[in-house]
A and B are shown apart, each in its own frame.
Chain A
Amino acid sequence: AAGVIQSPRHLIKEKRETATLKCYPIPRHDTVYWYQQGPGQDPQFLISFYEKMQSDKGSIPDRFSAQQFSDYHSELNMSSLELGDSALYFCASSIWDEKLFFGSGTQLSVL
């Protein structure tokens, strides 16, 4: 069965650089979520999209932005990266009101 695809799996950036994370939801899923999980932390909600419109917003820094495209894939853009942005970034998808399916995550390391 198709799963949520995230790319890249690993990303190394330097401070003040930019990064773009991509997420391809499960086909026919209409909602995409982004979560950030620091070392030893629980996942923190960043933002979500339903039918390509932002539907909910969490603790996403102003330096970050995200969007969902017409093919339902989503991108998380991160600028002016800081050391504290090093984390595992999960994308997840669902059909409205159903359970969340997570991708394998993108491990971002900011040096």
Chain B
Amino acid sequence: AQTVTQSQPEMSVQEAETVTLSCTYDTSESDYYLFWYKQPPSRQMILVIRQEAYKQQNATENRFSVNFQKAAKSFSLKISDSQLGDAAMYFCAYRRGATGNQFYFGTGTSLTVIP
């Protein structure tokens, strides 16, 4: 079974600083996708970034980037130049590849941004 683990229930970062959120996953599959979703107080689920397992290059979206370590089954999210609007719950998610459907979510990391 696939599992996603986020070992940091809460994190805080000073505005304009950089923070890294950790995520590890367990799978026996070789073809899969990894995601980070952001859930602000409004409770909407917003896609932050996506990584295909077959790609060695780490995904980047503006101030958000990932450190994907396939052998270690690690998928951390780095937020640079943190902004107040980045404050939210962040969920790491895993999805199997070609025949897969279900997204598996971690338990989330609550990020506080300190002005």
Could you list which residues of chain A lie within 8 angstroms of chain B, going by C-beta atoms? 31, 33, 37, 41-43, 45, 48, 50, 55-56, 58, 88, 90, 92, 97, 99-102, 104-105
Whether A104 and B44, one on each chain, are in contact in the complex, defined by CB atoms closer than 8 angstroms, is yes
B contacts with A, residue count (CB < 8 A): 22
Whether A97 and B47, one on each chain, are in contact in the complex, defined by CB atoms closer than 8 angstroms, is no
- Nearest-Cβ distance from residue B9 to partner chain A, whole angstroms: 10
Binds A, one of B11-19, B68-76, B95-103: B95-103
Residues of A within 8 A of B103 (CB): 33, 45, 92, 100
The dominant DSSP class at the B interface is: strand
Pick the contact of A58: B43, B50, B95, B102 (CB < 8 A): B102
Give the contacts of B47-102 with A (CB-CB under 8 A): 47, 50, 91, 93, 95, 97-98, 101-102
Residues of A within 8 A of B50 (CB): 99
